[in-house]
Amino acid sequence: MNEKLDAIKDKVKGLVDQGEEKVDQIKHKVIDVKDQAVTKGSAMLDRAETFIKANPLKAVGIAFGLGYVGMRLFRR
């Protein structure tokens, strides 16, 4: 009886260890994806800032146009 109980305990411990490893792998993958998203977002923000500084009138026109289109879509 004790042998069966020990075998079950060992099997459960092995499953718990596997689960911990999977959780750790997923955690690292999520952190990597988050870091990539932050890097890409920062690069896009830098490009937008450069465009706005180089073309302020175009930027205002684009912002106005997008605002107008958004207003028209949400009013319906």
Express each pLDDT in 23-35 by its tens digit: 999 999 999 999 9
Mean pLDDT of 49-76: 95
Domain residue limits at 62: 25-76
Give a yes or no: residue 49 inside a domain.
yes
Give a yes or no: residue 17 inside a domain.
no
Give a yes or no: residue 37 inside a domain.
yes
Give a yes or no: residue 64 inside a domain.
yes
Query: pLDDT-derived band of residue 4, with 50, 70 and 90 as boundaries?
Result: confident
Query: What's phi and psi for 55, nearest 5 deg?
Result: -135, 70
Give a yes or no: residue 11 inside a domain.
no
Give a yes or no: residue 1 inside a domain.
no
- The residue among 50, 48, 53, 43 whose CA lies nearest residue 66 is 48
Please count the structural domains in the chain.
1
